[in-house]
Structure formats: C-alpha cells, structure tokens
A = this chain, B = another copy of it.
C-alpha cells in the first residue's frame, strides 16, 4: 500500500484551479474546497508515520504548499496552516500530547485552524481547577472558521505568560466571526475569534516546553516563515506561468517594433530574463532554507541556538527573495502579457492582490534589518514569532 503524493497533489490542484478565479471574486468561506483538501489525504503530510501520518519532511511538505499556492493561494494558506498547527503540537507539546492529538488528527481527519496570533494580545486567561479560562479575542485567525480543532493562545493574567492550547473548534464560548474581507487571500477566513470563558484543560495546554521553551521550540517561527516563503513563491510561480502562457499564445508585437512576433520582441525577452531570474533565485533559496529546516528538525532537543540561528538566516534570505519575486512578477506579468490580460474574467490581478496582502504579514524592512545585523555584526535574528 502506497500513497502517491504526487498524484494527489496534482488532482487537488486541478480541482482547485477550476473555479479559483470565481472564488477569488466572491471571497468568503470555501466549504467545498476545504473538503477537497481533506479528501486529498494530504492533511497528514507532516504527521509522523508513528502517529499514522504520511511522515514527509518539510522540504516535501512545503513544496506541496507551493504547488497549491500556484493555483489558489488562499487554499494553500489553509492547507499550510494545518501543518503549522500539527508542528506546533510537536514544537511545544509533550510526546503524550503529540501522540494523542496527532493520532486523532489522522483518525478523525481533523482540519486544524489557527487562533493564536502572537501579535494580538487581547486574549487573556485565568487559571481554574480544570485548566485555564480564556476571554477576549484574536484577530487574523486564518482557517479557524470551518476547522475541527483550534490552537488558541492567551496571556495569563497572573504572570503574563504566553500559553498555547488545543481545543475543539466547537468548544463552548468560542465565536468565530465572518469578518474577513480583504483585497487578497480572500478565502483564508482570517477573521476574528472571540472567547467567552473558554476552557482549555490542563492536558491540552502545550507547556512542554511551550513557546520559547527551547531552541527547538523557537524553530516554530522558522517554519511559520517558510510557509509564507512558499506561498509567496507559489504566487510568483503562478504569475510567471500565466505571463508566459499568455505572451506565447495571445500577445501581438507592438505596431512599430519591427518584429513579426511578440516572442522575438527584444524588450519582452529582456523582461522574461529578469522575471525568470527572480523566480529562479527565490526558488533555489526557498529550497535551501527548507533543507536547513529539515536538518534542524531532525536534531530536535539537541538543536542549539546557533544552529537555529543558521536556519533563521536562511529563512530571512529566502523570505526577502520570495517577497520581492511575488510582487514584481505579479505586477510585471501585465507588462509582458499586454492590455488583453486585464480582462476581469481572467482574474490575473489576483496574483498581485494575494501577494500584496500576504507580504504585509511582517515588514520586509525588518527582515532586511535582521539580515544586515547578521551580515555586518554576526548576530543571529532574535527568536520571536516572526524571526
């Protein structure tokens, strides 16, 4: 018995591509497509085989994210966040919690959602006998809507500690708003989640070692960044392929260009050279960063701060390249494809809108500062939720 990942990825991408343009226009919740993702069997891609998952490394998992993002970066986002939540349990939780939650994830076919935006400190918790009670809210909770399970975070009122726990999405007191309506990434349901006396039991608090608990736990931010990198890169790839296809099949030479086909236009060739080079450098560095992540992952608790720092630097390099590639290629696709590419039914502006929205996750300028501090001063990025 073998699961053909490649075939399932290809099938899923074809399914999502069918109406990706239409769904971008309407936005909102992608009930059906979430089920397609679930049915693909790929939700367990990153879950170790000992828990029944497909046990793939990050390089493979992130390449699948990238491929999905090429056709539908909203679904890629939800899909990737599944793996981020799964990994969070492995980064922050005990072996027993991992066994419990991940086995169930496989068996119950859980789709995980995110309610732990670390930049939003409006959710607060108090300790009670059974565990903690959470009140307040979190913004940008991508994938919470429609999820089976959630990772939730809050600051303890008593000591300010940042804690993360796992709960069923239908846990009493959880209200998931439908307030996400952005110019891009329109079906990520990245809205607000509100908590009213929401209980997280002791067993489901990920405290061993918990956030910032070890160099290995700090590797979570590197994984989170690598997901962004691969979504940006998928967008760049998708835009590039559309640009190439449109130019080859539809573009006409300019009236006084002196060439008989657009494919021979000297300036279009030049533009394609730079688009290709931007895509290619971003791709090579995303893959290098993924390999470094895999090597660090294998070290588990033996991971040192230095080794984690090396991964963080690789992520910054790849992030800057992917960020720029996604924006530049998605905008320049129109320069090469020409005015005909602006027809609304083609929806080719969605690459730029998706990239533009998602690249604001954390500022490029501070990625550059981190990289500069490493390049000039030999200082690794300070471990935070973003670096």
Contact = CB atoms under 8 A, between A and B. Distances in A.
Interface of A: 27, 119, 181-184, 186, 244, 247-248, 254-257, 263, 265-277, 280-281, 284-285, 288, 317, 320-321, 327, 331, 334-335, 338-339, 341-345, 347-349, 352-353, 356-357, 360-377, 382, 384, 386
Contacts of A372: 268-273, 276
A247 B376 contact: yes
Interface of A, secondary structure class, is helix
A277 B184 contact: no
Given A183-B347, A256-B384, A275-B375, 20 more contacts: A181-B345, A183-B342, A248-B377, A263-B376, A267-B366, A268-B372, A268-B376, A269-B372, A269-B376, A270-B368, A272-B372, A272-B376, A273-B320, A274-B368, A276-B374, A276-B375, A284-B285, A284-B288, A341-B360, A342-B356
A342 to B, nearest CB: 5
A182 B272 contact: no
A342 B371 contact: no
A211 B54 CA distance: 53
A182 B267 contact: no
A326 to B, nearest CB: 12
A321 B119 contact: no
Contact of A343 (B119, B182, B244, B344): B182
Given A268-B376, A280-B317, A255 B384 contact: yes
Contacts of A377: 248, 263
Nearest to A324: B277
Contacts of A257: 366
Given A273-B375, A281-B285, A331-B331, A266 B369 contact: yes
Given A183-B344, A266-B266, A360-B338, A277 B317 contact: yes
A224 to B, nearest CB: 15
Contact of A256 (B267, B276, B360, B382): B382
A270 B369 contact: yes
A247 B268 CA distance: 24
A259 to B, nearest CB: 10
A183 to B, nearest CB: 4
